[in-house]
């Protein structure tokens, strides 16, 4: 029997009020979802083919770019960043971008461009990577990006433009988030946030590499230390 194919995915961890009492943006997946039903997760989802055609207003850092390329034959780092920004936009209505005219924006990005923005990876950091273990109904090679909520545009409490993919969108204090119904990997990612002194690129990126043959916990370190 052939195992479920692995799709590339991107996720955004948004931290708010980091200097005082940090909060993270979470939403709940539907009860009928094939993957992680009822679980609270960060905004994110599978990479689309069209993501590779979107130009970023500002690029990822060299360190993030190098770490994303390590042990990867998947989409380009820029495509992964675009997918994370698109998923955030679709699932929450919040925009991560830079002010720039975008007259030829695709239809799916029309409202994003109408607001005067183009997707931007400035101050967006590759933070975690995990491959869904074998046996799950859907499997993803997920890259988790970290960003300060200050980088977002608009009202951070206005989710009126969100799709219905995630419900109960909310900012949850880091010291309370574990009371939610979380997937195992989300709990692990949250653990990596504990003790963090600044929002920036980590020296190394944790990688849960779950393959058919073995499961490994690695640390990705690109050319930039």
The encoded tokens of residue 128 equal 């975690």
- d(CA 9, CA 31) in angstroms, rounded, equals 21
More reliable by pLDDT, 109 or 216: 109
Share the mean pLDDT of the chain. 90
Angle, vertex CA 223, rays to CA 221 and CA 225, nearest 5: 65
Instruction: Please tell me which residue, 104 or 134, carries the higher pLDDT value.
Output: 104
Across residues 140-162, what is the average pLDDT? Answer: 95
* pLDDT (mean) for 100-122: 96
Strands (E), 56-94: none
pLDDT at residue 1, rounded to an integer:
42
Choose the weakest-confidence range: 49-53, 103-107, 163-167.
163-167
Q: Is the pLDDT of residue 205 over 70?
A: yes
- pLDDT score at 204: 86
> Angle formed by the axes of helices 62-69 and 77-92, to 10°?
100
Please give the pLDDT value at position 225. 44
Q: What is the pLDDT of residue 214?
A: 65
For residue 210, the cross-strand partners are 215
**Is pLDDT at 114 greater than 50 in this prediction?**
yes
CB within 8 A of 172, min separation 6: which ones? Answer: 23, 24, 25, 26, 180
């Amino acid at each position: 029997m052939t195992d479920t194919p692995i799709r590339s995915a991107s996720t955004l961890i948004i931290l708010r009020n980091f200097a005082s009492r940090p909060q993270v943006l979470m939403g709940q997946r539907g009860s009928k979802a094939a993957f992680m039903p009822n679980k609270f997760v960060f905004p994110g989802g599978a990479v689309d083919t069209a993501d590779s055609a979107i130009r970023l207003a500002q690029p990822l850092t060299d360190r993030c770019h190098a770490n994303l390329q390590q042990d990867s034959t998947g989409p380009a780092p820029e495509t992964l960043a675009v997918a994370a920004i698109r998923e955030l936009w679709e699932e929450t209505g919040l925009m991560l971008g830079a002010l720039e005219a975008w007259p030829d924006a695709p239809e799916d990005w029309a409202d994003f461009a109408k607001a005067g923005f183009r997707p931007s990876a400035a101050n967006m950091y590759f933070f975690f990577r995990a491959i869904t273990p074998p046996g799950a109904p859907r499997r993803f090679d997920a890259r988790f990006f970290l960003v300060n909520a200050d980088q977002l545009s608009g009202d951070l409490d206005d989710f009126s433009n969100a799709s219905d993919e995630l419900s109960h969108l909310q900012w949850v204090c880091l010291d309370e988030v574990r009371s939610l119904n979380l997937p195992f990997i989300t709990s692990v990612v949250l653990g990596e946030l504990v003790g963090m002194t600044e929002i920036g690129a980590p020296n190394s990126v944790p990688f849960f590499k779950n393959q058919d043959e073995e499961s490994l916990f690695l640390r990705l370190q690109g050319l930039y230390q």
